[in-house]
Every structure is written in structure tokens, then in C-alpha cells.
Structure 1
């Protein structure tokens, strides 16, 4: 355990498990700093930011909107069916996101005004964020619950849900790498909150 430093809690889990519910609660209830890798990536792809010109140079101006911002839907269409292009995009974005997150953690530790930091990243395990985080927590939900949420709240088709889930880590891999599991399958959100409260106390984040 790192001494005299604000701890970093890594949150991960498959799509539709309800990670945003967990992050919202921890941020509001405990006043923790919440950092989301996806939001950092969006910021770094804005005009003038570190990833913008590299992406435009790699994929052409056809991915830009009228206001010269990157159209993420157009970009997704370009890389979705081409593994090499997706790999190239990831090689641009992922290291930049990690650098941004490390800098934000350093800044928060310098300020010393938050009790702890929560980092959410879909690729927390694959991108080896264990060097940054004190612990990984896995947000779990039953597959049927996830499927229902994605179709109801995101408008995914059954086929799209199947495709997205197929490309994600298996449950046993998440459990193997994480020190605590939050079961967010229940419709009663207080059940999830109770698990978070207990975990933060037992794992000494408070």
C-alpha cells in the first residue's frame, strides 16, 4: 500500500454492468475525484489536443465534421471492420490517455483536497493500470440484465449486444484481476450502494 498518498481505485467491468451508477455514487457520496478514460480520450481528440492531428493525419479529413472536430461515428465506421486501423487508432489514443490520467492523479495528490481518486477504464486490465491503481474493483451484472439494459437504455439490437459482449473480457478474467466485486444485477440500487460502502471501508479507502 502506498503511504502518505491519495489512493487510486480502478473500476472496470463489461458493457451494461452499470459502472456509471457506481461512479456517480462514489463521486457524490464520498466527494472522490472521478476520472473516466473515455472522457479523457474525447478531450484529447478535440482540435488542438495531443491526439487530434495524429488521428487526422492517419485517417484523413473525411472523418471530420463541418466544424473540423472529429466525427466519432465516422471514425468508428472506418476502424470497426479493419483491425489494423483500429490498432493504429489505439496506439495513438491509449498512451495519451494514460499520460493524461497519470498527470491528473499527480495534480490531485499535489492539491490534497480529495479523499481518494476513482479511475474507470474499459481496458483497465489490458492496458496494465495496476501500476497506477492501488486496487481494481469489478462491477458485475448478470448477462440477461446487461442485455436488457443495453436494449432498453441504449437502443441496441440483440445482434449488436451479442457482438459487443463477444469482444469483451470474460467474467473469470475480471474476477482474477480484481480485489473486490460489486454485484449490480439488482434493480434495487441501494443493494449496490451497500456493497460500495462496505468495500470502501474494508479496503481502507476511507
Structure 2
């Protein structure tokens, strides 16, 4: 089974790359953020531990975790963020490894793609023989974020500043997809990498 890790800064266009991999190559997508959200649902692995750290006040009226209240708590307190990450990241990693194991048994010919903005920081290099770094220039990224998320320019710069430096990601990637141009160009780069 081929395992590819896909990472890149916010607004770089990882979603475009993932869509092509899924639709044109039948890849199984394992998206860390989505898995993290699933694990915070009532009864899932992270639900109780998060309540133990943040208290009952983070439970919404619907009985689910109120992500807004959690975000507010971690924004004010770096230690709270470390605690949250200490709960979520290991659980996400275990779930990704569980899903990979299942795929190996049921569909060994399939390509699995692990997507995470913090793929390198979270140590996924150990299980991803290929790390594809999706990049676009700063202004392209800012434009995408302002359009898709409604961020101000200042908010874009703030979010981008909190991510791993481009140089470090480039040094650790096995391939780079320049996603600042046309969709056709991006698809051609993906096709070249998939042919390897």
C-alpha cells in the first residue's frame, strides 16, 4: 500500500490536491482535522478527557463539546493548548494507524493519503514514506483565505505566522507541489508524482 502524507500552510491548496487524489486516483483520505472532530463527539475517545481538562462548561446545550468555548480557553492559555494537543494528537495518530491497518488488510492496492497541517510536527514522517508539501506564494494564500474564510489580511498573517517555516517543510518533504498556478498545472504535478 502506498502511503502519502500531504501537508502545507493554510491557504496553500491542500484541498485541491486531496480532491484530485481522491477523484482521479481513488485514494483513501485520512484527514487529521476531521478525525480529531470525530474523536471529540460524545462517547468517542477524546470526549471525556477534554471535559476532564476544561470542565463541564465546555459541554454545549446539545450535549456535544462546544468547540468555540474550547478555542477561547486555549487561545488565552498556552498550557491549556498543550493539554488539548496532548489529548487529541495521540488519539488521532492511533486512529489513523488503525485505519491504515484495516486498509492494508482489505484494500492493499489502494493509496492512502494522510493530510495534516502539522504532519511533520506530529511525527507522521515515521509512517509516511512520501511527504508532499503543497505550497503557494504568500499573496495567493492570503487571497484564498480572505475569499474562502472571510479572514482579514491581518488574521491571515497571524495564522500563517503560527505555522512551521516554509524552509523547514521544504527540507523535509520528498516532493513539492506548487499550487499557485492553474488547476491543470497542479494536476500535471500530481500525475508525475503518482507515476513514480
Flag whether TM exceeds 0.5 (same fold). yes
Q: Which residues of structure 1 form unaligned runs of 5+? A: 1-5
CA shift digits 1:22-79 (9 cap, x unpaired): 0011001011111100001000000000100000111012212111101112111110
- Distance of 2:22 and 2:71 partners within structure 1: 30
- Distance of 2:62 and 2:98 partners within structure 1: 29
**Of the candidates 167, 182, 189, which is equivalent to residue 183 of structure 2?**
189
Change beyond 3 A, Cα 1:40–1:114: farther
- Distance of 2:50 and 2:71 partners within structure 1: 12
Aligned-pair RMSD on alpha carbons? 0.9
Deviation beyond 6 Å, 4+ runs, structure 1:
none
Q: Which residues of structure 2 form unaligned runs of 5+? A: none
- Distance of 2:155 and 2:57 partners within structure 1: 25
Aligned residues: 196
Q: Secondary structure at the match of 2:45?
A: coil
1:93 corresponds to which residue?
88
**Of the candidates 2, 6, 10, which is equivalent to residue 5 of structure 2?**
10
Is 1:78 paired with 2:70? no
**Of the candidates 102, 107, 113, which is equivalent to residue 102 of structure 2?**
107
Task: Measure how far apart 1:113 and its partner are.
Answer: 5.6
Task: Measure how far apart 1:106 and its partner are.
Answer: 0.2
Task: Measure how far apart 1:81 and its partner are.
Answer: 2.3
TM-score scaled by length of structure 2: 0.97
